[in-house]
């Protein structure tokens, strides 16, 4: 989702959020420091797919300080093995470079969110379709608008 589209969505849904402009950065630990948020507040977006190339893409969101467990992702998606989409696939599917993908799925894409992210913080933070803009969004508003499937995807 592009930055301007995301802004329009959040404003139309009366979400509680703020935009932070900063130097371009996509690494979770560094951008958290720039934002002044906890690393675990960062909503790290990982675009996943079946290792055999079959099926749909899924956007998997986890805390910026956690590691993705591909076995759990595969189980949640009902596939044999999961892997990350390539940078080219990510750009084609989301319109964003890796590191700038916001935690909102494109139409027809599954959205999985690790519960630890949304249970631990009142706000989540993420790069908002650009490496030089972040959003800090109320967690309740995020869940209401994005309507993700909550499932443990971390090791």
Q: Which tens digit of pLDDT belongs to each residue from 25-62?
A: 878 888 899 899 999 999 999 999 998 877 789 999 99
Q: Residue 44: which CATH number?
A: 3.90.960.10
pTM attached to this predicted model: 0.94
Q: Each residue of 113-151: pLDDT tens digit?
A: 999 999 989 999 999 999 999 999 999 999 999 999 999
Does 52 reside within a domain? yes
* Number of domains making up the chain: 1
Q: Which pLDDT score, from 0 to 100, does residue 91 have?
A: 95
Does 101 reside within a domain? yes
pLDDT exceeds 80 at position 88: yes
- The DSSP code sequence of 109-125 is -EEEE-HHHHHH-SEEE
Range of the domain at 60: 3-150
């Amino acid at each position: 989702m592009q930055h301007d589209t995301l802004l329009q969505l959040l404003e139309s849904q009366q979400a509680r959020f703020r935009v932070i402009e900063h130097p371009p950065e996509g690494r979770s630990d560094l951008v958290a420091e720039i934002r002044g948020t906890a690393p675990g507040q960062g909503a790290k977006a990982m675009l996943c797919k079946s290792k055999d190339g079959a099926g749909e893409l899924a956007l998997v969101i986890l805390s910026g300080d956690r590691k993705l467990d591909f076995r759990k992702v595969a189980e949640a998606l009902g596939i044999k093995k999961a892997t990350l989409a390539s940078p080219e696939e990510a750009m084609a599917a989301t319109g964003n470079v890796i590191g700038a993908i916001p935690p909102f799925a494109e139409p027809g894409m599954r959205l999985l969110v690790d519960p630890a992210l949304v249970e631990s913080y009142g706000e989540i933070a993420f790069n908002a379709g650009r490496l030089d803009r972040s959003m800090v969004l109320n967690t309740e508003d995020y869940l209401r608008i994005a309507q993700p499937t909550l499932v443990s995807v971390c090791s």
